[in-house]
């Protein structure tokens, strides 16, 4: 799966307006996509996609949920 995010608020907060966030799970594909972006003069940054987040972003109506429900609770004391 490849998700190239430029318009989501979280990517803008994380990377600013000039970078695309790439969520790519396959190493070979990631290298090809990032290489193609660089060759085209596009700014792209590979974002982490950790196993422990997968259950929280599953959705019945979308490919992926935008936010994981426990996101805020996990990082609070």
Which pLDDT does position 51 carry in this prediction? 79
Distance CA 14, CA 24 (A): 17
Which pLDDT does position 29 carry in this prediction? 92
User: If 0-12 CB within 10 Å is exposed, 13-18 middle and 19+ buried, where does residue 44 land?
Assistant: buried
Distance CA 67, CA 71 (A): 7
Which pLDDT does position 33 carry in this prediction? 93
Q: What is the DSSP letter of 44?
A: E
What pTM was computed for the model? 0.63
pLDDT in tens, 10-64: 788 888 888 888 888 889 999 999 999 999 999 999 988 777 777 777 777 766 6
């Amino acid at each position: 799966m490849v998700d190239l995010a430029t318009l989501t608020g979280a990517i803008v907060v994380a990377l600013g307006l000039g970078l695309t966030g790439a969520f790519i799970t396959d190493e070979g594909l990631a290298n090809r996509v990032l290489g193609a972006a660089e060759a085209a003069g596009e700014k792209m940054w590979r974002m982490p996609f950790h196993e422990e987040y997968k259950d929280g972003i599953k959705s019945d109506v979308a490919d992926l949920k935008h936010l994981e429900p426990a996101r805020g609770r996990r990082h609070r004391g």
